[in-house]
Amino acid sequence: DAGVTQSPTHLIKTRGQHVTLRCSPISGHKSVSWYQQVLGQGPQFIFQYYEKEERGRGNFPDRFSARQFPNYSSELNVNALLLGDSALYLCASSWGLADEQFFGPGTRLTVL
Amino acid sequence: GEDVEQSLFLSVREGDSSVINCTYTDSSSTYLYWYKQEPGAGLQLLTYIFSNMDMKQDQRLTVLLNKKDKHLSLRIADTQTGDSAIYFCAESPNTGGFKTIFGAGTRLFVKA
């Protein structure tokens, strides 16, 4: 079985642009979570979705939004990019809300 | 508040035991986790412990939980060079929706 996949692997944007990151969970998993990992720090929780509904939100501005599709894949959108948004964005999937999370390899976003 | 703290670096000789320590703040957390991150890779769940347990052993890994002091430790027996990585302590508070709070990570160096 394929693990969690994320696309793209790397992305370079300029300030003010917007970006869409994509995540495909492990087959059968219904929950997807998004994390931001700035270099040298631990992952910071952004969102958790379960059965297409938002079930948890971290302390991030409204420029960050996400959604989950009927096939349980997910998109993370970031508008009006700032330099400080440069980070590794990790997606994790789990069968249920509180089950073990399996992480994807991440998308490295660089904002210039 | 929610915070997970860890020491940043640990250096051990191959064959010795490594002990990585962590303190957390949210006593409502049901699950406490240890993740491993190797360079260029995503996060790998090593082990977890329920908050009603004091100890969990899994092959070379031993997790100790002191709930009174909100202190969690990970002991790696017979540390190998392949154990060199960043180790993250994390908790899942039962308040504020579903989310996982990570520490900044402890970078383990194993000298041959």
Nearest by CB to residue B100, choosing from A4, A101, A106, is A101
What pLDDT was estimated at residue B95? 59
What pLDDT was estimated at residue A40? 87
pLDDT-based confidence at residue B26 (cuts at 50, 70, 90) = confident
pLDDT-based confidence at residue B52 (cuts at 50, 70, 90) = confident
Nearest by CB to residue A104, choosing from B42, B90, B101, is B42
Q: In Å, how far are A31, B44, B88 from B34, measured between CA atoms? A: 20, 9, 6
Question: What would the mean pLDDT of A72-78 be, rounded to a whole number?
Answer: 98
CB contact under 8 A, A100 and B45: yes
Best mutation target, B46, B48, B99, to test chain A (most A CBs within 10 A): B99
- Cα Rg of chain A (Å, integer): 13
- pLDDT over 60 (residue B97): no
pLDDT-based confidence at residue A10 (cuts at 50, 70, 90) = very high
Identify the CA nearest to A38 among candidates A102, A90, A105: A90
Identify the CA nearest to B29 among candidates B59, B57, B71: B71
Q: Does B51 touch chain A (CB under 8 A)?
A: no
* Cis peptide leading into residue A43 (ω within 30°): no
Chain A residues in contact with B41 by the CB 8 A cut-off are 105
Chain B residues in contact with A55 by the CB 8 A cut-off are 97-98
How many whole angstroms separate alpha carbon B58 and alpha carbon A7? 34
Is residue B85 within 8 A of residue B37, CB to CB? The reply is yes
Nearest-5° Cα angle at B80, B74 to B86: 50
More confident residue, B57 or B96: B57
Identify the CA nearest to A97 among candidates A33, A19, A38: A33
Minimal-distance CA residue of chain B relative to A47? B99
How many whole angstroms separate alpha carbon B4 and alpha carbon B19? 17
Q: Does B100 touch chain A (CB under 8 A)?
A: yes
Identity of the residue numbered A95: W
CB contact under 8 A, A98 and B48: no
Q: Does A8 touch chain B (CB under 8 A)?
A: no
Is residue B65 within 8 A of residue B55, CB to CB? The reply is yes
CB contact under 8 A, A42 and B98: no
